[in-house]
Amino acid sequence: MGRKSKTTNTKLIHSGEINDQYGSLVTPIYQTSTFKFPTAEEGAARFLGDSEGYIYTRLANPTIDTLEKKLADLEQGDGCIAVASGMAAVTTTYAALLSQGDHIISSRSVYGSSRGSMEQIFSRFGIMATYVDTSVQENIEAAARPETRLIYLESPSNPNLVVSDIEQISSFAHQHNLLVAVDNTFCSPYIQQPLVLGADIVIHSLTKFISGHADVIGGCIVSANANLDQKLRKAMIYMGCTMDPHQAFLVERGVKTLGLRMERAQENALKISRFLSDHDAVAWVTYPGLENFPQKQLVERQMSGHGAMISFGLHGGYEAGKKLMDEVRLIKLAVSLGGVESLIQHPASMSHVVLSAQARAEAGINDDLIRLSVGVEDTEDLLTDLDSALTNIH
């Protein structure tokens, strides 16, 4: 491991700092829809792009700029666009980079709404998609077509934690003039930096680990070069996906403690995954920090940590997984992830219940799969809660 910059925690706090006329230590919330021009000439210069002053918050805002600069620095990108939600980041990327007749290759277990927006909206405009297990390089190469424009990855994937080789995939993509976008939500830039590994675009749901407190929705797109950033920003502005200044303030405040939160959550996750591995009620456990994780070498090469997400299954299958949801007490039964609170969900009976059993199986989502987002509570309390819940259903 070692992809994480030695100055990451300092960047989390100080990158993008604002220097306003009042000497504000914390970035203020510039809660304004529009900005005054000192002169008509200056107004014209700003619209022409000859002056860097602000015009209208849908276009740019000082509070949002501060967050964007911080996130670009953390991902070692050229530019960042903060948007209203993680899905706004996904759809902006699709809209900016794909045209009628184009084709994308994507992870088969990609976030449901990322796939849904492609299949239900973008497909109506003649954009095609193929979903494969992107952890197998041959699958990507076999799916590539002359009209392919984008490879869209989640690594680790949601919810089964399959890791794809970003460096290898990016090398193949660039040999064929394809772009690579990576949803890095599960890791955050604290653990993985896909642009350093060769990807062109990084997407985050800022709602999750980056903001970290389950109190704000947000997303971002970080680009490897200025041309991509400009292309994506233009699409975002036209579609009106702008983040609100108060959203940006909350995310920027949350990201400052990302390192502290991730270290604690990962420490908890490793202990919990080992506990689950030894429990009689548990059939299997998937966590990148376990020694038996099948892609251990790849994890060590491209990630500087193991994350705080665990997937596991129970011997009782679907019904046992469903029952466990009603037995936990401290751990909260809820979707989403990455907050200070530990959250648990059973995809087959909750987030993916609308899919057929066959569709879930094709996506690698077993009926017994339980997804646990580990928070920063005291480890012993989490272990006690899980042990009691598992004992009650076993």
pLDDT tens string 198-227: 999 999 999 999 999 999 999 999 999 999
**Average pLDDT in the 364-389 region?**
94
- Residue 362 confidence (pLDDT): 75
* Residue 301 in tokens: 């090469």
User: How far is Cα 136 from Cα 148, in angstroms, rounded to an integer?
Assistant: 18
**Average pLDDT in the 153-180 region?**
96
- Residue 305 confidence (pLDDT): 96
Strand partners, 203: 183, 221
Type of residue found at 113: S
**Average pLDDT in the 167-175 region?**
98
**Average pLDDT in the 362-370 region?**
83
**Average pLDDT in the 269-279 region?**
98
Per residue in 341-356, pLDDT (tens digit) is 999 999 887 777 666 7
Other CB atoms within 10 A of residue 379 CB: 17
| Confidence band for 111, pLDDT divided at 50, 70 and 90 | confident
User: How far is Cα 286 from Cα 169, in angstroms, rounded to an integer?
Assistant: 23
- Strands 103-107, 79-83: pairing kind: unpaired
Least confident piece of the model among 4-18, 20-34, 335-349 = 4-18
- Residue 315 confidence (pLDDT): 93
pLDDT at 380 over 80: yes
- Residue 332 confidence (pLDDT): 97
- Residue 355 confidence (pLDDT): 66
Active site amino acids: 58, 111, 183, 208
- Residue 350 confidence (pLDDT): 76
Per residue in 113-150, pLDDT (tens digit) is 899 899 999 999 999 999 999 999 999 999 999 999 99
- Write down the residue that tokens 């910059």 correspond to: 5
Cβ neighbours of residue 44 under 8 Å, at least 6 residues apart? Answer: none
Per residue in 95-108, pLDDT (tens digit) is 999 999 999 999 98
| Confidence band for 2, pLDDT divided at 50, 70 and 90 | very low
pLDDT at 274 over 90: yes
Provide the 3-class DSSP secondary structure of residue 351: coil
**Average pLDDT in the 44-56 region?**
94
pLDDT at 1 over 80: no
Domain 8-255 matches domain 259-393 at the CATH topology level: no
In the β-sheet with 369-373, what is the strand arrangement from edge to edge? 282-286, 309-314, 369-373, 343-345, 332-333
- Residue 256 confidence (pLDDT): 97
User: How far is Cα 244 from Cα 30, in angstroms, rounded to an integer?
Assistant: 10
Per residue in 242-260, pLDDT (tens digit) is 999 999 999 999 999 999 9
* Nearest Cα to Cα of residue 81 among 244, 219, 213, 265: 219
Question: Is the model more confident about 359 or about 44?
Answer: 44
pTM score over 0.75: yes
In this structure, whether the domain defined by 8-255 belongs to CATH 3.40.250.10 is answered with no
Strand partners, 128: 103
CB 373 within 8 Å of CB 207? no
CB 167 within 8 Å of CB 139? no
Domain boundaries, the chain: 8-255, 259-393
- Residue 112 confidence (pLDDT): 83
pLDDT at 20 over 90: no
CATH class name, domain 259-393: alpha beta
| Confidence band for 275, pLDDT divided at 50, 70 and 90 | very high
Strand partners, 285: 312
* Nearest Cα to Cα of residue 335 among 84, 131, 112: 112
pLDDT at 5 over 80: no
Least confident piece of the model among 105-119, 155-169, 272-286 = 105-119
Compute the 3-state secondary structure of the chain and give helix, strand, coil in percent, each to the nearest 5: 40, 15, 45
Q: What is the DSSP letter of 307?
A: -
User: How far is Cα 359 from Cα 343, in angstroms, rounded to an integer?
Assistant: 25
